[in-house]
């Protein structure tokens, strides 16, 4: 593979991150790092004694059924003859190679009854990402969005297992729709399921938020689904695909919000993979992976959370951190490791 980006380091080297600035709870005066400051935290330890706020138990949201695997790389699992090619071709588009101690926790593990365990393992696994200097990669991947109207917050939504599920192996008993697209003279057919309440959710958030879709899937596949969901192109103000992610060993696809021309305090990202917002944990809302649970109420609960707490928040990070505490937990783990 041409032009891999190698994160080389020795055990004596310190993790790459800028000097941390103060981070307080919502009820206190808060100073956050700027969009260009933050790289990552040093982290380690056991979360069993941490006070994790679990969706469904802490006021937001509930959980769907488990299934075989995370489909965030949907088209990659198609037969080789049908799979669209990797997009891009520069050295910075190639997967980042990591130290051998990195372990990956698949988002299919993020299911009903397993939220805290998934969060615990996923946060600990991020230790393997702490040495990466993302600044040059972010610069290459920067995207501009037109000026937001009426000061709306920017809501960034994942696609696979957050809004829909693609049943690539046709294992589920029912499907809501079948998407079809042509690639290299082959007709590709993929059955999909929509998360319950999807259209109502998209309509509601588009009225109060600037909505962006950010998927780790390839454009050829994603656009067919997005065109079906938003035929008039009135909901999604921007579409970002796999080439806008930071690809780590073809397993982790980080969606670094610094590539967008928006302030971090005005952006929130919803994803079923904690890795997606690993570089901005306080901007993230972790939603359980969806496959085929027709009793799923995640989007309804998410909508209530967004409208009641995020819509008018001066800083979305302060609100999210007071609920989910991902960054606070990592700071505690970092201190524990250094002791």
Pairing of strands 236-240, 246-248: unpaired
Helix or strand holding residue 240 (H, E): strand 236-240
DSSP 10-59: -TTSPP--PPPPP---TTS------TTT-------S--TTS----TTTSS
Report DSSP state, residue 77: G
In whole angstroms, what is the distance from residue 17 CA to residue 326 CA?
17
Q: Residue holding tokens 């979305």?
A: 316
- Torsion sign, CA atoms 194, 196, 199, 201: negative
Q: Residue holding tokens 């790092």?
A: 33
Nearest to 40 by CA among 137, 118, 162, 111: 137
Coil vs helix vs strand at 58:
coil
- Torsion sign, CA atoms 4, 334, 122, 282: negative
Report DSSP state, residue 55: T
Pairing of strands 186-194, 236-240: unpaired
Q: What are phi and psi of 277, to 5 degrees?
A: -115, 30
In whole angstroms, what is the distance from residue 111 CA to residue 118 CA?
8
Nearest to 283 by CA among 274, 292, 291: 274
The set of catalytic residues is: 158, 160
Coil vs helix vs strand at 122:
helix
Angle, vertex CA 31, rays to CA 29 and CA 32, nearest 5: 140
């Amino acid at each position: 593979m041409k032009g891999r980006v190698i994160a080389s380091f020795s055990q004596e080297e310190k993790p790459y991150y800028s000097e941390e600035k103060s981070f307080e709870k919502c009820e206190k005066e808060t100073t956050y790092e700027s969009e260009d400051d933050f790289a990552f935290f040093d982290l380690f330890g056991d979360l069993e004694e941490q006070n994790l706020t679990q969706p469904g138990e802490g006021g937001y949201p509930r959980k769907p059924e488990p299934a075989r695997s995370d489909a965030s790389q949907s088209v990659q699992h198609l037969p080789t003859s049908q799979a669209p090619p990797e997009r891009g071709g520069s050295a910075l588009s190639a997967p980042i190679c990591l130290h051998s101690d990195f372990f990956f926790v698949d988002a299919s593990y993020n299911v009903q009854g397993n939220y805290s365990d998934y969060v615990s393992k996923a946060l600990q696994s991020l230790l393997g990402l702490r040495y990466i200097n993302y600044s040059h990669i972010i610069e290459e991947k920067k995207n501009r969005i037109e000026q937001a109207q009426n000061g709306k917050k920017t809501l960034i939504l994942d696609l696979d297992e957050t809004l829909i599920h693609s049943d690539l192996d046709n294992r589920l008993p029912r499907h809501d729709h079948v998407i079809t697209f042509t690639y290299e003279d082959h007709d590709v057919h993929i059955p999909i399921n929509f998360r319950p309440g999807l259209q109502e959710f998209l309509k509601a958030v588009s009225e109060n938020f600037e909505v962006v879709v950010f998927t780790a899937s390839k454009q050829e596949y994603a656009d067919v689904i997005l065109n079906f969901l938003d035929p008039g192109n009135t909901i999604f103000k921007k579409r970002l695909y796999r080439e806008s992610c930071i690809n780590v060993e073809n397993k982790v696809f980080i969606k670094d919000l610094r590539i967008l021309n928006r302030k971090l305090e005005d952006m929130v990202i919803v994803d079923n993979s904690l890795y997606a917002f690993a570089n901005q944990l306080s901007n993230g809302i972790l939603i359980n992976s969806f496959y085929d649970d027709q009793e799923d109420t995640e989007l309804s609960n998410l909508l209530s959370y967004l409208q009641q707490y995020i819509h008018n928040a001066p800083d979305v990070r302060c609100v999210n951190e007071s609920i989910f505490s991902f960054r606070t937990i990592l700071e505690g783990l970092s201190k524990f490791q250094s002791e």
